[in-house]
Structure 1
Amino acid sequence: MGFSEDNLKGFILALLSSLFIGASFIIKKKGLRRAAAASGVRAGIGGFSYLLEPLWWLGMITMIIGEIANCVAYAFAPAVLVTPLGALSIIVSAVLAQFILNEKLQQLGILGCVMCIAGSVVIVIHAPQEHPITSVQEICSMATQPAFLLYVASVIVLVFILIFHFAPQCGHSNVLVFTGICSLMGSLSVMSVKALGTALKITFEGNNQLLYPETWFFVFIVATCVITQMNYLNKKVMLACTMNLTCCWHMA
């Protein structure tokens, strides 16, 4: 692969995004712990006392900065290059959790971190050059291909099943439910963010794409995906925090 200047910009932005997002998980979790300890309401049960915790908001701001960097990275580099680098946020979280939250990283966790790094390196090395896109209509044309529409419909059906069937039954005891919702919606947000980022890049280059309804449609999709992901990501973090808080309360 010839590593172009745009690919390099996207690569650096994706790395910065992983650093901010990985740190945000730790900051938010520490804020959730403080809020639960102060209010006496266990995180994950449905309380909203964490909204009054400044540390939680600091984590949210850190995450927003990371997501903005991630969005801009998609405008410069192929999604196949940017998306795998997001896995590095897991490593950042794991390392910070060991030092800040006193959560010991086990051998399997270390193996997982090594596999994430190895996979990211392989994909970065072999990432293809991106086909140049000249308009948002071209993106929309690719997004309306039958195969892609079938994939989108399948994801939406699975998300609705998880939200309305599995979440009420076992969502507060099995973290995989909320993880599944976030991951499935993430697959759609990645592609919509890529489309929106490309449209904005073309606009800044002098060809205004904000005049076309397709651009605003992608804005709507991005907003819907991000809001849904943030909602269930908070639930997932609160559930994980609840599991860890049990021993903390006994110690107190």
Structure 2
Amino acid sequence: MGVSSDNLNGLVLAVSSSFFIGSSFIVKKKGLKKAGLNGLRAGSGGYSYLYEPLWWAGLLTMIIGELANFAAYAFAPAILVTPLGALSIIFSALLAHFLLNEKLHIFGMLGCLLCVVGSISIALHAPQERAIESVKQVWQLATQPGFIVYTCFVLIMVLILIFLFVPKYGQKHMTVYIGICSLMGSITVMSVKALGIALKLTFSGSNQFKYFQTWFFTVVVVVCCVLQMDYLNKALDTFNTAVVSPVYYVMFTSLTIIASMIMFKDWDSQNASQIATELCGFVTILSGTFLLHKTKDMGDDMSPQSSLFASPNTEPSIFRSPNHEVPIFSNPNEEPHIFTNSKSASRKV
């Protein structure tokens, strides 16, 4: 099955986004290492990296990646763009292997291969985006009964988790925090997609910012992102990052695909064989992602934190935007490590 023009644009933007974001971790780390040779290392409390051009180049690279990811939603359906976020893990792992001498285990290489195979499968069978000529059309899709029911379900579940489960179980079961982030994340992506479409139409000459719907979606994006960042950082400050990251990826991506199916009816024009192929591709990516993260613990005894209901620890936190992990410091002076075989190798910046 061929790839439509818009899907191809979205695919290129999504892959470019993953490359830039994955590369940014490597560039930042090289900047930190170089800064450590001329001043107090970041891990020892120094801030000399702020004077290092390489570190700023890494930050700029990450910003470019996030902008490309944002733009990808304006062209392609979420079922194509969202799962491709896993590719940033591959780029980080491969670049760290070749440029930083942080060796990738053989099973990590297999994980990379699985992610690539799954991504290709989804790209070749992704549904074509429907033609949208105004943000008002997106508003009509967002206010249809099915998506309103889904939105109400999300809001009710988030409120229940925040007010009933967080006080009692938040520090014991990471699925509480991750559940809040994933539920809100699915709404975030739908709003990001609506805003991306509005910007795309505006740049083509049809101003969409004269409609209140565009500003409504903008407010939803900001509010949902802030809420996501808050609770995801709580999860990552409390539990093992190597466990939280893949579990969050699974929940966030799954709920985003469900939300996209309900709102944009992505699979209406597809047959059962195409849908099954896309699901198999998604499962393949999930398998590769878990294998990549699991590789970091190879050779070490499994700790209690490897459980889904992991006990608290003090791993550094990261924030994931709709598709990618973006580092946020628990301790801003820690130096990054990427994809080595020790348990301390959680991605940091």
TM-score normalised by length of structure 2: 0.55
Match of 1:100 in 2: 99
Query: Which aligned pairs between 1:1-252 and structure 2 lie closer than 5 A?
Result: 1-32=1-32, 38-39=39-40, 42=43, 49=47, 52-54=50-52, 55-144=54-143, 145-150=147-152, 152-153=154-155, 156=158, 186-224=185-223, 229=229, 232=319, 233-235=326-328, 241=336
CA deviations 1:14-61 (Å, max 9, x no partner) are 222121111012223444556678445638xxx793772533322111
When residues 151 and 15 of structure 1 are mapped into structure 2, their CA distance, relative to the original with a 3 A threshold, is: farther
Aligned-pair identity in percent equals 49
**Letter aligned with residue 87 of structure 1:** A
The offset of 1:241, in angstroms, is 2.8
Mapped to 1, the partners of 2:36 and 2:156 lie a distance apart of 37
8 Å CA contact 2:10–2:81 kept in 1: the answer is: yes
Q: Take 1:50 and 1:135, find their aligned partners in 2: how far apart are those partners?
A: 48
Distance 2:181 2:102 in 1: 23
Q: Which amino acid aligns with 1:146?
A: I
Q: Quote the offset at 1:86 in angstroms.
A: 2.3
Residues 205/143 of structure 1: CA separation in 2 closer, same or farther (3 Å cut) = same
2:201 and 2:207 in contact (8 A); partners too? yes
- How many equivalent pairs are there? 240
Q: CA deviation at 1:216?
A: 1.9
Larger mean CA deviation between 201-210 and 122-131 belongs to 201-210
2:135 touches 2:214 (CA, 8 Å); kept in 1?
A: yes
User: Which structure shows the bigger proportion of residues in helix conformation?
Assistant: 1
| Aligned-partner SS, 1:153 | helix
Would the aligned equivalents of 1:189 and 1:225 in 2 still touch at CA under 8 Å? Answer: yes
Question: How far, CA to CA, are the matches of 1:90 and 1:158 in structure 2?
Answer: 33
Unaligned runs of 5+ residues in structure 2 are 234-317, 320-325, 345-349
Q: Following TM superposition, by how much is the alpha carbon of 1:192 offset from its aligned partner in structure 2, in angstroms?
A: 2.3
Deviation at 1:202, TM superposition (A): 2.2
Paired amino acid for 1:5: S
Counterparts in 2 of 1:12 and 1:146: CA distance versus 1, 3 Å: same
- Flag the 1:217–1:234 CA change in 2: closer, same or farther, 3 A: same
| Consecutive unaligned residues in structure 1, runs of 5 or more | 248-252
Distance in 1 between the 2:214 and 2:117 partners? 36
